[in-house]
Amino acid sequence: MEYFYYLVTLVGIYVVLAASLDLLVGNTGVVSVSHATFYGVGAYATAILIKHGLSFWKSLPVAVLCGAVTAFVVGMLCSRLRGDYLALGTFAVGMVGHNIMVTWESLTQGPFGITGIHRPGIGGSSAAFACLVATFAVLALCCIAGITRFSAFADDLRAIRDDEIAALSLGTELTLHKSIAFGLSGAFAALGGSLYACWIGFVDPSGFTVSESILILSMVILGGAGSVLGVSLGAILLAVLPELLRFARISPYPAALHQMVYGLALVVLMARYPKGFLGKYEFE
């Protein structure tokens, strides 16, 4: 049962991350490769505050606020970029964010990381924490679905996604709307980071690389950008598939085999479903 609780926690965190990134990718048309930075901000903020004596419940809103502010600033800086240049800009943010985590040793402890992060006071068991993560994941999905389906703000974001010039001619503030979308996305990503820090009990820069951002982006694209249910499905598949491949002992080089099967599966699935499984938005 411990392994089951591990999978529930892993999937729950990735569902939050994928759904939060879809606020940018599927609803605003912004391909961001900096999501792991906001994820890391939430994790480090929680770790630092807990080490200074705050409880998880007090550190969580601060971590979410830190993620939102960081992402909002990134959105302001990148809002004038378009297309590939915007993707490159967020890639640079991801690289800078990771380097800050490595080099700012007085705050982050550098490559050694921060240890001794305890779980919230719900018994500390794997089952209790898995239920907590699943609850947060469901609440996050409900909030994101509410934002993207029932708000005029989401209509403005989709207008920007479909045609920025037309949206601008109708009076939409591109910079402000993109920045708010970044901020909301970063807030939910920081929530995932906060849960991750308490789950692992240790944070270091290796968990918040550009590769992690690309993995989260792959979940969105595979599941289907613009669909909360689709990106959740993508998160489940790409979180569980590597775990299933761990049991494939048919090669003396299992790590290499896993990478090959993993990559081949992604290529085949994307060739069969160019919009993802349940996608509403296809990348040009």
* Residue 241 within a domain: no
Q: How far apart are CA 2 and CA 245, in angstroms?
A: 19
* Residue 28 within a domain: yes
Q: Which domain holds residue 101?
A: 2-208
Q: How many alpha carbons fall within 13 Å on the CB side of residue 186?
A: 28
pLDDT of residue 250: 54
pLDDT of residue 74: 95
pLDDT of residue 53: 87
- Tell me the two tokens of residue 95: 């690289």
- CA dist list (Å): 162 to 26, 64, 152, 281: 11, 29, 15, 9
CA 17 to chain centre: 3
* Residue 141 within a domain: yes
Domain count for the chain, please give it.
1
By DSSP bridging, strand 114-115 and strand 202-203 are antiparallel
- List, run by run, the mean pLDDT of 10-residue segments along the chain (284 residues): 90 96 90 94 96 92 97 92 86 94 93 89 79 95 91 86 82 88 96 95 92 90 89 90 69 59 70 76 62
**Residue 52 CB coordination number (10 Å):** 8
